[in-house]
């Protein structure tokens, strides 16, 4: 094996948070493009263009106005993602040891390590949204190490852990833009129950 999966150590704290943040930010562009494909957004952009053209009579001003609205949409998507990142950093990733690594608890956090560097993460803990279930969380692999089975190995490590603890139901929450992640989760037996952006 070219990597080692092991339990989280306090020295991994910064690397774990960086991997989470970087992985989350990767989806900003995809969500922005999805937003631009929405009919109501396209109608709004056409309306802005027509309104500006009506008042200014200038195609250039119209193009600049639409460009400004598109930039505002991009900034709004970026802002929403940053809020999501900060939420994760303030919740379980603020104190990883306390959230996942308490002695006797049925939760745990693992990292994948390669030559002393953290390249992937996964955690599992009781699900707040669904009492009685456990939630697979913070599955992330650095981009340059993807496509080699590392995310699957991390997930299997977590699933083996809950099997040993007699957990009957494991859930995870992921956005619809994470299509590669969907393939992974399907391959290890998860079933989609609902969808969100």
CATH number, domain of 114, equals 3.40.630.30
Give, for all 197 residues of the chain, the pLDDT tens digit: 678 999 999 999 999 999 999 988 888 888 888 889 999 999 999 999 899 988 898 999 999 999 999 999 999 999 998 998 899 899 999 999 999 998 887 899 999 999 999 999 999 999 888 888 899 999 999 999 988 899 999 999 999 999 888 888 898 887 766 777 778 788 887 777 766 65
Residue range of the domain that includes 70: 25-90
Q: What is the pTM of this model?
A: 0.83
DSSP per-residue codes, the chain:
--SEEEE--GGGHHHHHHHHHHHHHTTHHHHHHHHHTSHHHHHHHHHHHHHHHHHH--HHHHHHHHHHHHHHHHHHHHHHHHHHHHHHHHTTTTSHHHHH--TT-S-EEEEEEETTEEEEEEEEEE-SSSTT-EEEEEEEE-GGGTTSSHHHHHHHHHHHHHHHTT---EE----TT-HHHHHHHHHTT--------
Please report whether residue 194 resides in a domain: no
Number of domains within the chain: 2
């Amino acid at each position: 094996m070219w990597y080692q999966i092991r339990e989280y150590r306090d020295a991994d704290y910064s690397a774990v948070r960086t991997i989470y943040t970087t992985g989350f930010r990767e989806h900003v562009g995809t969500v922005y493009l999805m937003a631009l494909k929405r009919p109501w957004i396209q109608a709004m952009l056409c309306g802005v263009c027509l309104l500006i053209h009506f008042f200014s009579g200038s195609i250039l001003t119209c193009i600049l106005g639409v460009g400004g609205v598109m930039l505002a949409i991009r900034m709004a998507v970026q802002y929403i993602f940053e809020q999501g990142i900060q939420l994760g950093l303030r919740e379980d990733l603020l104190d990883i040891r306390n959230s996942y690594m308490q002695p006797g608890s049925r939760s745990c956090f693992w990292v994948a390590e390669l030559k002393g560097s953290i390249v992937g993460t996964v955690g599992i803990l009781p699900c707040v949204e669904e009492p009685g279930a456990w939630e697979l969380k913070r599955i992330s692999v650095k981009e340059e190490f993807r496509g080699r089975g590392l995310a699957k190995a991390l997930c299997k490590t977590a699933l083996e852990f809950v099997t040993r603890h007699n957990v009957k139901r494991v859930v995870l929450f992921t956005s619809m833009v994470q299509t590669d992640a969907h393939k992974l989760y399907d391959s290890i037996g998860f079933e989609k129950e609902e969808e969100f952006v």
